[in-house]
Amino acid sequence: MNIYQVLVATLSLIAFNCFAADPKFGLISGKGEILCVSFGEELPSVGTPITVINGESPQSSFAAMLGEKTADCKLLENAQVTSPYYAVITNRKFESPFVGIAVTGKHATIQKNGFVSLPASDAKEHIYFRICNSHEGLWFSSWYGRPLIGKQLWRQHFYLGYDVEPSCEEKDILEVKLKPT
């Protein structure tokens, strides 16, 4: 391996670890072939890779890409999820409304015991995902370490507009100081 290859490999590893250390989380929703996502802030350009977590049991994941900014995202808008909204480019089609978690970047996910996790940049823990019911909606969250035991990194409420049987625990909904995403 020459010095150029070593330099490129080292810089790639550093860039990957910096990016992986600070992924952005958001909600993705849609029906049919039309999905959109909100990360609650402006994001990089069209074509940015995202990893989508389907929180239904058993959890699963798939790769997608960020599309153009869009004003038409009724499912997220009706769920009181803040804009800006972006189209999502994927080859998936959903017969019924889909809601999941989007993570910026292309990540190698691990599927074990019905749950999806992402290796964290420090390799000590993994990032896990949780969905639970509140009285009128769903709480989506990501955790450094096991949900409810580890540190909550992000959470977002998805308003359903009707009553559901609550399944969230106090740690799911306690006001904690989260690192801005």
The answer to whether residue 94 sits within a structural domain is: yes
- Whether 16 is in a domain gets the answer no
**Gap between the Cα atoms of 167 and 105, Å rounded:** 30
Residue 12 lies in a domain: no
The reply to whether 180 falls in a domain is no
9 in any annotated domain: no
At 42, is the pLDDT very low, low, confident or very high (cuts 50, 70, 90)?
Answer: confident
Per DSSP, the residues of 122-152 read TSSSEEEEEEEE-SSEEEEEEEESSTTTSEE
Residue 2 lies in a domain: no
pLDDT single digits (tens) 18-29: 344 478 999 999
Range of the structural domain that residue 125 is part of: 22-173
In a domain, 10, yes or no: no
pLDDT at 3: 42
Residue 5 lies in a domain: no
**What letter represents residue 28's amino acid?**
I
Q: Identify the pLDDT of residue 133.
A: 95
Number of compact structural domains in the chain: 1
Least confident of 7-16, 141-150, 164-173: 7-16
What tens digit of pLDDT does each residue of 114-133 get?
Answer: 999 999 887 788 999 999 99
